[in-house]
Amino acid sequence: MPELPEVETVRASLARDLVGKKVKLAAVTNGRAVRRHKSAKEFRALLEGHTIKSAERLGKYLIFGLDNANHLVIHLGMSGQLLRSKGPKDVKPKHTHVVISFVQGGELRYVDPRTFGELFVSVPPVEGAEVEISKFARLSIGGEGLRLRRQIPEIAHLGIDPFEDQIGWDRFAAILRSRSTGLKVVLTDQDIMAGLGNIYADEVLFAAALRYDRPAESLSTIEIRRLHRAIIEILTDAIKFGGSTLDDEQYVDPDGKPGTYQERHQVYNREGLPCFQCRQPIIRVTVRQRSTFFCANCQS
Ligand SMILES: [Zn+2]
């Protein structure tokens, strides 16, 4: 499943050529991809004729600002891909559900074999309407996150985005001390932290030398600071390498190129292989039906 580094890679790539382009047509061939709308027609009507003004991200959501204060919001779900193409003559991959074409030429295609992802056009709340913003995100002291949540009620529930919401380690500490569940559960709960998933939570916890099942409230100040730093460092590094593409997953960037950060994973998908730090075999356990990888010697 694409996580923050993959979504950010897609955002940066699309920002380069979509901003300033005007949507000509939005062809929907699978209504499930636009399921928040009453009909595909409604989705089309909100998008066609509008120019893309910005490309942002919050958690795992891509957010394209339109010229009328609405936003095109895209979540890639488990297996979604956004692919650019020169035009209708390019062969459409199987499971292409939405094709957005532009007045200036070119197309953006949404491809998703499992169709857990979605696209929708969000209309800002009417003036004076109360948007319920995540109590964790409200701890933010800067960044673009709060503005995005106020404009887009559908994503207002998202917890802290490590880049778009600024919280110092002390506020991060307050969040952790309020949770008694294991660290991995806390880090991957999108209503607490937005953007981390199965892969990067494992990599972050290894970098911070903390076990997945450590109760969040039990961390010392030093451990909290280490975890806070590891989140930023691992995600920054993963973005630098274009995210991770695993054998069984579909993630590619808009040009169809896979990421290379999987070559740098310390624990994820390395069951039985020696830990790069201590040579003990990496262990895999199943937590909430998903694999967790860790080193029992290096993480405590
Ligand atoms: Zn180790």
- For residue 276, report the distance from its CA to the centre of ligand 1, in Å: 7
pLDDT of the residue at 249: 65
DSSP string, 256-267: SPPP-GGGG-SS
CB atoms within 10 A of CB 56: 18
- For residue 223, report the distance from its CA to the centre of ligand 1, in Å: 17
pLDDT of the residue at 130: 87
Assess whether 2 carries a catalytic annotation.
yes
- β-strands 81-85, 107-111: how paired? antiparallel
pLDDT of the residue at 80: 96
Give the CATH number of domain 169-294: 1.10.8.50
- For residue 91, report the distance from its CA to the centre of ligand 1, in Å: 47
Here the tokens at position 109 are 């295609």
Residues at Cβ < 5 Å from ligand 1 ion: 275, 277-278, 295, 297-298
Could you give the CA distance from residue 1 to residue 93 in angstroms, rounded to a whole number?
19
Q: Which amino acid is at 194?
A: A
- For residue 281, report the distance from its CA to the centre of ligand 1, in Å: 8
Assess whether 5 carries a catalytic annotation.
no
Say which CATH superfamily domain 4-123 falls into.
Answer: MutM-like, N-terminal (3.20.190.10)
pLDDT of the residue at 239: 98
Phi first, then psi, for residue 97 (nearest 5°) are -105, -30
Pick the catalytic residue from 22, 225, 229, 290.
290
Per-residue pLDDT of the chain (300 residues; tens, 9 = 90+): 899 999 999 999 999 999 999 999 999 999 999 999 999 999 999 999 999 999 999 999 999 999 999 999 999 999 999 999 998 888 899 999 999 999 999 999 999 999 999 999 999 999 888 899 999 999 999 999 999 999 999 999 999 999 999 998 899 999 999 999 999 999 999 999 999 999 999 999 999 999 999 999 999 999 999 999 999 999 999 999 999 999 776 899 999 999 999 999 999 999 999 999 999 999 999 987 899 999 999 999
Q: What global pTM score does this model have?
A: 0.97
- For residue 296, report the distance from its CA to the centre of ligand 1, in Å: 7
Phi first, then psi, for residue 148 (nearest 5°) are -65, -40
In the chain, list all ranges with CATH 3.20.190.10. 4-123
Phi first, then psi, for residue 224 (nearest 5°) are -65, -45
- For residue 292, report the distance from its CA to the centre of ligand 1, in Å: 15
Could you give the CA distance from residue 92 to residue 245 in angstroms, rounded to a whole number?
21
In the chain, list all ranges with CATH 1.10.8.50. 169-294
Could you give the CA distance from residue 262 to residue 21 in angstroms, rounded to a whole number?
33
- For residue 295, report the distance from its CA to the centre of ligand 1, in Å: 5
Pick the catalytic residue from 11, 57, 60, 214.
60
Assess whether 3 carries a catalytic annotation.
yes
